[in-house]
Chains A and B, each alone.
Chain A
């Protein structure tokens, strides 16, 4: 199951091998740390004693809540090592400074001003490490009237503009609210841009040798992630309407989501592509199931006739065709004939996707403390010269305290015990 393409390359180091990164991130920034860690960086996650609060977000293994059993935490913290450290103690700050002196990047998601209140602002950490890069990823950035506002994924999807673009046609759900897509994507958006900023700083450092401070904003990342909505407003003054399962638009548009025989849906982009050639190809597809209807009629060689029959083609012929078959069958039959259509799948259906298996996408990840291994999703892209990999499951609370504080920083086991007794670790 884990054998993917380029097996020879699998033994090579990842593209970020050799980098040491300190991650002080909650649920808002942990995905950025994963992106760095799965590409080979040594990401040390620094959590408060007892563990980061994102360990308490479900679902949990076998539905038993426990900081080492959060599946959300598991997914977003692969390939990292984990230590606990209380920065609000003098010993904690001293140890943190020692770690910072030997690190390449610090990723932090504390509220603006928190690290500075502890005397751990970037300028002071940089004094002992000129190449240090520090990325503060926060809901609204380090400045501005909303700087100290509280947030959540739902809040970002509202203010960022995602909700204004997602929802339902009146005919499907009357008076529907704007809908915030699920899955925690505000954090993904912020983390993608933070990763880009960190990599840019790292590339610059390979040339100039100096580190720098990055102030990244999740709100801005979300506000940038609504495709043409901003351009529609800036250039044409348009405010877009929400439509069921398809693009926002200034006015009504033909549907693109059709119910299949199995009760699931197919995304079939037809409108906007209707020309005589496309009608011929569509007739071939529908005809292979004996459902071409009148599509072979020569009248459809006339674009004007096509335009006048758009509703008939989409709402009768295409809709009936899809309604007669399972969604997966429509998806593959259409794609094999060159149609850009897809099945609207629930995530669990992806485990049966042959293409993902061909790419070696699914990874077996060992959980030695449980004596079990589980299947995890893999990489967005195949790096042919420096592979992406999950090097280990997410760390247990304080799992690497001994390894890092004793083996690397040289503390004795007795000192470590004192630190634990004093709630420093």
Chain B
């Protein structure tokens, strides 16, 4: 008997594209909601351009690896929503759905005639989550973002780097990932509220604004103490404090030393291990792990204030030791002795070498009709009664058009064929994929 799923019988109309929106609905899908992705190949963003198509495959709408990982657990309806007929069909779909989610610019759905008031006429208790860059409210609602821009404007980028150097920032669209988290959080919160009260609502999420509470302690240091983050020694790289600068908390946690990344053997690009000691006791344990070298018994390293004062020398000495071992050996020796240490892990490390992620089945293989068998990322939580799971590979574009149009919405097969002929379900001049031809047969 198959297990129940947390979002059983919940249907989501998903207009979202690129990363943040699809990353939100991916998790709703893993929790059991039926995600219907509305797509149109002429202005698709997320499948193309693809930089993650395997080297031996042709780049096309169905071969992006990153799209696959971002869109498992979804169905695809190809539909020209900008046509009168397409709009009518999507309205019928909304009428039998629970959630509408999109991450367009702020006025797009309204222009289509699908603003919140319209959605309410179609489905009075609809939960509508808009995920635009700056939100639907406020003077800059028409501004646009990518993750890096939201991160820059909100202060997140500034928190990353070495003092007196340009910001190192985030090496990916952290706020597309995290914006997706907030999209899913908003949808689930709105859904819970609907189930309890019968009331739907419009939740106006902004990627840029969502970033701001993530720099909260730095903001309070300014609004309460008047201390800005643009100051000597900040940000302090991987350290809790930069030597020779005023001793001020860096908003990551306690101010301690050692607290840094150290090179490990054999010294390649990702051969680093981080070590942190939160107390004198942890430091003394590290000293033992290092073989109790004579330098470590110096007064210079006896107290946390002394270690902070002599941090450069401390870090040099520790690194001389870590250079003699691989990063997993440093980790295992330290952790076995109760010292905080973990390796810097690349994607390859996480997939191939991380024993914890392997044990937790973080990456399980799943077959995709165009990409073949590949590992897919799983949820980072286990629910005892309604476990999340990946059940469907990402959809081929338009793969479920017949299933949805005929099976769910009750249109006839002739109407489906007519819709393909008149450009409602696929551009008339664009070559169809073979599965579309099959869909149009009897």
Contacts and interface: CB of A to CB of B under 8 A. Distances in A.
A243 to B, nearest CB: 7
Nearest to B184: A196
Given A75-B220, A188-B178, A267-B148, A355 B134 contact: yes
Which secondary structure dominates where chain B touches chain A? mixed
Contact of B7 (A147, A203, A241, A341): A203
A208 B263 CA distance: 52
B356 A146 contact: yes
Interface stretch (A79-87, A212-220, A300-308, A310-318): A212-220
Interface residues of A, number: 153
Contacts of B19: 227
A224 B350 CA distance: 10
A152 interface: yes
A235 B340 CA distance: 33
Contacts of A106: none
Given A146-B356, A220-B362, A335-B140, A158 B375 contact: no
A291 B216 CA distance: 38
Contacts of A244: 166, 168-169
Interface string A24-62: 000100000001000100000000000000001111011
Interface string A368-383: 0000001111111111
Contacts of B272: 158, 163, 177-178
Interface in A191-212: 192-197, 199-204, 206-208, 210, 212
A155 B253 CA distance: 12
Interface stretch (A91-99, A108-116, A342-350, A405-413): A342-350
Contacts of B388: 200
Interface stretch (A179-187, A274-282, A415-423): A179-187
B346 A239 contact: yes
Interface string B329-349: 000000100111111111111
B54 interface: yes
B345 A235 contact: no
Contacts of A27: 253
Contacts of A183: 156, 159, 214-215, 217-218, 251-252
B176 interface: yes
Contacts of B383: 197, 200-201, 212-214
B303 interface: no
A140 B335 CA distance: 13
Interface stretch (B75-83, B89-97, B224-232, B425-433): B224-232
Contact of B351 (A16, A204, A230): A230
B284 interface: no
B382 to A, nearest CB: 4
B139 interface: yes
Interface stretch (B36-44, B202-210, B400-408, B413-421): B202-210
A424 interface: no
Interface in B112-148: 116, 129, 134-135, 137-141, 143-148
A168 B201 contact: no
A177 B248 CA distance: 23
B8 interface: yes
A297 interface: no
A217 B177 contact: no
Nearest to A179: B168
A343 B155 contact: no
Given A196-B27, A215-B382, A219-B357, A207 B216 contact: no
A157 B184 CA distance: 23
A30 to B, nearest CB: 11
A376 B220 contact: yes
Interface string A355-389: 11011010000000000001111111111111000
B172 A343 contact: no
A385 B199 contact: yes
A154 B167 contact: no
A282 B381 CA distance: 46
A345 B223 contact: no
B193 A184 contact: no
B261 A158 contact: yes
Contacts of B169: 166, 181, 244-246, 257, 267, 344
B157 interface: yes
A181 B371 CA distance: 34
A77 to B, nearest CB: 11
A103 interface: no
Given A144-B360, A165-B172, A239 B251 contact: no
A232 to B, nearest CB: 6
A37 B162 CA distance: 35
Nearest to A199: B188
Nearest to A200: B6
A212 B388 CA distance: 13
A184 B251 contact: yes
B136 to A, nearest CB: 8
Given A167-B168, A375-B223, A231 B65 contact: yes
B434 to A, nearest CB: 23
Contact of A207 (B8, B154, B371): B8
20 contacts: A154-B259, A158-B344, A177-B238, A180-B261, A181-B170, A185-B174, A194-B381, A196-B27, A196-B381, A200-B6, A212-B384, A226-B177, A229-B347, A230-B363, A230-B377, A231-B66, A234-B69, A247-B171, A335-B143, A376-B223
Given A163-B344, A200-B188, A201-B386, 7 more contacts: A61-B225, A165-B171, A213-B384, A231-B69, A233-B351, A257-B169, A355-B143
The 9 residue pairs across chains A and B that have the minimum distance between CB atoms: A385-B201, A235-B65, A220-B380, A165-B171, A58-B249, A181-B160, A380-B210, A199-B188, A347-B155
